[in-house]
Amino acid sequence: MTLATSPAGSVEIIAAGQGKFHPVDPDGFRAYIRDHKSRALKSKLMTEKEAVERFVADGDYLSYECNYLMRGPNAVIHEVIRQRKKDLWLAGKFTYVDICLLVGAGCASKVDCGFFLSPKPVLRAIAEGKLEVFEYSNVIMTLRLQAGAMGVPFLPVRSFGGTHGFDYSGARLIRDPYTGVPITIVPALNPDVALIHVHQADIYGNARVFGTGISDVESALASKKVIISAEEIIDTEEIRSNPGLTRIPYYAVDAVVEAPFGSYPGTVPGYYASNPEGVFEIFRATGGDAVEPYIEKYVDSVENHLDMLDKRVGVKKLLDMKQREVIREGYHA
Amino acid sequence: MTRAEAFSDREVAMCAVAKIVEDGRTYWAAGGGTPLYSILLGKRLYAPELQYVTEDGVIAPEPLLPYEPMMTMVASRATRRALSWGTMNSAGIHAQLGYMDYGVLNTLQVDQHGNINSTIIGDYGPNTRRFGGPGGADTIAACCWRTILITDQEKRKFVRQVDFISSPGYLDGTAGARERAGLPKDTGPWRVVTPWAMYDFHERRLRLIGRMPWVTVEEILAECEWKPLIADEVAVLEAPTEEEVLLLRTELDVRGQTTDAAGAWITWDGEKYVRAG
């Protein structure tokens, strides 16, 4: 092997953020995939209770896709709260109220910030030392997931350098060995578990998402354990009839949960609009420091997601959400 | 164009941004709210070939207005009839490649070098008041060729140095500072727009270049904790038009969540504008 010379000689680290970051271990991740992820086409259909019992552990790094208002995996997030999982490290990207809900329930002790609202329960947890925050941005978080989904330890990025977030993150500024120009690198993110709500999935986990999203595919591939909740369980023959629509392949998925109206009170585009009353209610609960009564009403006092829809929402509201979704183009519904 | 008879501070800022958009260019809106409404207003009234992109990777949608509360991204009305549906990484990567001409974003605080704070006020630590964080603004401010910042004209918002750089301006203001931090060349903040004034950057320092007819330069400077440079000629900016406020109120922000959020009302008394409050 001949040693190549680069304009900058060896790779120089110019600056390093001081933030704790979820450990980077691509070979460890590969070994996990080898040993724990089934390649067989076997049914992974289960209740949200079983999925969370089996695949969310205390201390896990947890990434959920979209947010409570927009195709969020709310049925599964509620179950995580119901089981009072502890010490979770959350990917706080493109999200408004979910962080407050999980922190208010005592489920989380760390969060990487892209964007989330910080009403009183969050500020209190930080002040009391119960919640540590590390600073990134939305795209930096999804690019970290992209690196995790590529099986590489880090990714060079063209933003984030020069910010104070950089100082409280796991980012590094290096001299690019190819051009000699400074470039920021961010650590790959391989969450322990991802929660993703999709439009359709088969029992094996082949999943279809219609419309836009944040980082569904990246999260699914980057995470050790993946829980898919789906509005509809469809036949595998239907998947095979239009393979181009499969966004997430079955072998990345550990659990498939059937969760119609699984994003209530939020929207699943093409299927149902949000319920504005429910949206205001969650903002009032988190913003008004009333997370506990909200959790009591929507999580603890009901058995599961379907029980919640039945007792707390009702058919009338659900049909109204369906009727108010007037756009069908692009959703294959 | 007809003069609007009455409008709010916040409406002024959105109408001012709408008048400076450039036709045929791409705009990346940070979140929903003011940046998105400013862009839509500009596209509808002044720049029909302007195309915009949202944080969830939607390219050039034809949204079904009005939006439902909070539903300015992902939801079907917001993403309707787009040319392409993507992801957050597709938007971010297109910006890294140089496809995003302009970014528009809100900031809590801005400093003399156009650095943007949307994370905290005060010293960073366990007892700090936290806000949302950078969201998509960090990548917008880093990678769009030009960035337009919207904020209120308040003393505590125009400071020498922001409490926290959530998204990059010209950093310490020295030539090449952005490049030394790994950011793409020839990018940076381009305009700062408030309900009272417009600023550009002269040698990477904030400079007052325009004022609304109802405020003086002195009044603006009184609402800057750190004084900006002042252009040789400070232009008098055009006040909102009836067409602009009508569109804002009847289609874009029908619940007044964004336009009524802050500031005073300005009215035309037949001879001059009067700002109440």
B64-102, pLDDT tens digit by residue? Answer: 999 988 899 999 999 999 999 999 999 999 999 999 999
On whether residue A1 sits in a domain, the answer given is no
Structural domain of A225: 23-153+188-324
Task: Confirm whether B269 is domain-assigned.
Answer: no
A148 has a chain B CB within 8 A of its CB: no
What domain range is B62 assigned to?
Answer: 6-259
Residue A39 lies in a domain: yes
The answer to the question of residue B23 being in a domain is yes
CB–CB contact B142 A182 (8 Å) = no
Q: Which of residues 78-137 of A touch B (CB under 8 A)?
A: 92-94, 96, 113-118, 122-123, 126-127, 129, 133, 135, 137
Percent of chain B with pLDDT over 70: 98
Alpha-carbon distance of B58 to B80, in angstroms, equals 9
Report the C-alpha dihedral over residues A94, A98, A100, A105, rounded to 10 degrees: -150
User: Which residues from B are below 8 Å from A279, CB to CB?
Assistant: 69-70
Q: Smallest CA–CA separation between A1 and chain B, in Å?
A: 31
pLDDT over 90 percentage in chain A:
96
Tell me, yes or no, whether A170 lies in a domain. no
CB contact under 8 A, A162 and B177: yes
B185 pLDDT exceeds 70?
yes
Determine the average pLDDT of the residues in A80-87: 98
- Checking if the pLDDT of A326 tops 80, the result is yes
The verdict on A274 touching B (C-beta cutoff 8 Å) is yes
pTM of the model: 0.97
- At A157-196, the pLDDT tens digits run 999 999 999 999 999 999 999 999 999 999 999 999 999 9
Q: How many CA atoms lie within 13 A of B241 on its CB side?
A: 13
pLDDT of residue A5: 59
Answer whether residue A3 shows pLDDT above 60: no
The answer to whether position A177 is within a domain reads no
pLDDT tens track for A20-47? 999 999 999 999 999 999 999 999 999 9
Give A267's contacts in chain B (Cβ within 8 Å). 68, 71, 74-76
Q: Residue A231: which H helix or E strand, with range?
A: strand A225-233
Question: Measured between CB atoms, does A26 come within 8 Å of chain B?
Answer: no
pLDDT mean across residues, chain A: 96
Q: Please write the tens of the pLDDT for every residue from A242-262.
A: 999 999 999 999 999 999 999
Residue B264 has pLDDT above 70, yes or no: yes
Report chain B's mean pLDDT, rounded to a whole number: 95
Candidates B52, B70, B143, B171, partner chain A, best to mutate (most A CBs within 10 A): B70
CATH of the domain at A253: 3.40.1080.10
**Chain B interface test: which of A64, A71, A90, A137 (most B C-beta within 10 Å):** A137
**What span, in angstroms and rounded, lies between the C-alpha atoms of B80 and B74?**
10
List the structure tokens of A226: 């993946």
Burial class (CB in 10 A: 0-12, 13-18, 19+), A6: middle
Which residues of chain A make contact with B58, given a CB cutoff of 8 A? 212
SS3 assignment, position B178? helix
Note the helical H segments in chain A. 26-36, 48-55, 74-82, 98-104, 120-127, 138-150, 164-167, 216-222, 236-241, 276-287, 291-295, 305-308, 315-324
Res A234: pLDDT: 98
- Does B62 reside within a domain? yes
Count of structural domains within chain A: 1
Residues of chain B positioned with their CB less than 8 A from the CB of A160 = 138-139, 142, 182
Question: Does residue B264 form part of some domain?
Answer: no
B1 or A297: which leads in pLDDT: A297
Percent helix, strand and coil across chain B, each to the nearest 5: 25, 25, 50
Residue B170 is assigned to a structural domain of this protein: yes
Confidence (pLDDT) at A11: 87
Q: Which residue of B has its CA nearest to A163?
A: B165
Residue of A nearest to B133 (CA): A115
Mean per-residue pLDDT, A34-61: 98
Which of chain B's residues have a Cβ under 8 Å away from the Cβ of A130?
Answer: none
What ipTM was assigned to the predicted interfaces of this complex?
0.97
A333 touches chain B (CB under 8 A): no
Q: Which residues of A touch B133 (CB under 8 A)?
A: 92, 113-116, 135, 137, 165
Q: What's residue A9's pLDDT? A: 60
- Which tops the pLDDT comparison, A272 or A1? A272
CA distance B57 to B51: 13
B74 and A92 in contact by Cβ < 8 A? Answer: no
Domain annotation covers residue B273: no
Using the 8-state DSSP alphabet, how is residue B271 labeled? S
Instruction: Quote the longest CA-to-CA distance of chain A.
Output: 72
Residues on chain A touching B59 (C-beta within 8 angstroms): none
Query: How many domains does one find in chain B?
Result: 1
Identify the pLDDT of residue B4: 95
Whether A167 maps to a domain, the answer reads no
Residue B256 is predicted with a pLDDT of: 80
Q: How many whole angstroms separate alpha carbon B260 and alpha carbon B256?
A: 5
Find the CATH number of the domain harbouring B207: 3.40.1080.10
C-alpha distance from B7 to closest chain A C-alpha (Å):
27
Q: Does any domain span residue B277?
A: no
Chain segment B144-178, per-residue pLDDT in tens: 999 999 999 999 999 999 999 999 999 999 999 99
Q: Is the pLDDT of residue B40 over 60?
A: yes
Q: State percent of chain B over pLDDT 90.
A: 92
Residue A232 lies in a domain: yes
